[in-house]
Each structure stands twice: as C-alpha cells, then as structure tokens.
Amino acid sequence: MTFLYLAHYTNRAIITPLFLAPSMSPIHPTVAASMVIFQYFNSSVLACWLVYTHHDYVLGSVQLPNTHSPLAFAGLVVFLLGAAGNISSENALFSLRRAAARRKAKAEGKAQITYSKVYVVPPVEGYFSRVLYPHYSLEWLEWMGYWILGGACGLGWGTGFTGYAKCSGALWFLFMEISVMLPRAVKGLTWYEQKFGKRALAGRKAAIPGVI
C-alpha cells in the first residue's frame, strides 16, 4: 500500500506537472502553502496508519488478516481503475488544450505557441460525456479503492469515532479530498457556464453524474 501511495504522488507531483501538463496556472503563495500543509498532514496520517498497524501485527497484539482475500483484490482493482481513468482523462484534457492553442496560434499567424493556457469545453464524449471534471471523481474512486484495500487488510474501516471500527487513515483522506475538490469542481462548472454558455455544457454536472 505504501508503494501505491508513492506511485500516485510520483505521478501527481512530478510526472504530470513537469512532463504532461501543457501549462500551469500561476499559484498564489497562500494556496501553495495550504497545499503543503494539507499534504503534510495527509502523509503523516497515512504513514502512521500503515506503520503503527503493521507494528501491532509484529507485536502480535492483533491477528494478521488474509491479505489475499477477494475483498482486498477488489479494492486493488478499484484503485487501479480509478488511477488509470484519472490519468487518461487528464491527458485527454491536456490534448484538447494543446490542440486549441495550436489552432489559436495558427489563426493569429504565430509561428510559435506563446499562450500560458487556452481553455476549451471538452466535447460530450468519453470521460466527459456526463461531467466536466471526471479526473476529480476518478481520483475519489482511486482512493475509495485504497480504503477498501486497507480495510480488507485489517487496517481499519471507520473514522475512529465509534468503538467497533478501527480508524482508517484512507477514509479520512477520502473525506478530505472530496471536501476540498468538490467545491472547486462546482466553482469550475459555474466558470465554464459564464465563459462558454449553458448550451456548451450540454446539461453536464461538475463531478458526480446526475447529482452535482
């Protein structure tokens, strides 16, 4: 599970911004600081969750579960499907923006693309057939799979507020991701509507098909 976490953030923090994204919007210092704080607490919670639970197994205070159970396999599959969909949908969006930037440069007679970012409304197809931010919802699916995998491996299912369910660091992270990213998606949907018009959105939602 540590490897899955590191693989996710190797892509998120290094590969995508440095090699795949066509451009990056300017980030305000307060936003950058908030990101650092969020990831510090997130990584700390998940690290303690993984390390100290393993420590309990080593000491023999809890019984080691069957890590090869069908539920653990299902959690891994959900994680991998979410990760693959997240990367694929982001790359599709990057390709649309690159193509729009090339068309704009050609129309203006420019030999080189000098725009920091060109926004387009994704066509109603594929990942974008029902929502405008599928990479958000697919990332939530990815971490839902992580939570299922952790629970199946005996790392806990609950929030820690109840006596019958061991606290799950992955569940807390999933809650935090949705609480931070869903308002951004809703705000982005409003921005798309104001910039391109309601007709261009074709009735699509922000991140959850048919809901919001």
The model's pLDDT over 40-82, given as tens digits with 9 standing for 90+, comes to: 888 888 888 877 766 556 555 555 556 678 999 999 999 999 9
Question: Which of 29-38, 73-82, 139-148 comes out lowest in average pLDDT?
Answer: 29-38
Among candidates 69, 34, 22, 77, which has minimal Cα distance to 180? 34
Sequence ranges of the domains in the chain: 2-201
User: Given this model, what pLDDT does residue 164 score?
Assistant: 44
Centroid of chain to Cα 114:
29
* Helix (H/G/I), strand (E/B), else coil: 149: helix
Q: To the nearest 10°, report the CA torsion of 20, 24, 29, 30.
A: -80
Question: Which of 62-71, 115-124, 151-160 comes out lowest in average pLDDT?
Answer: 62-71
DSSP 205: B
* Helix (H/G/I), strand (E/B), else coil: 158: strand
φ and ψ at 102, to 5 degrees?
-65, -40
Q: Is the dihedral of CA 44, 47, 51, 52 positive or negative?
A: positive
User: Over 70: is that where the pLDDT of 115 sits?
Assistant: no
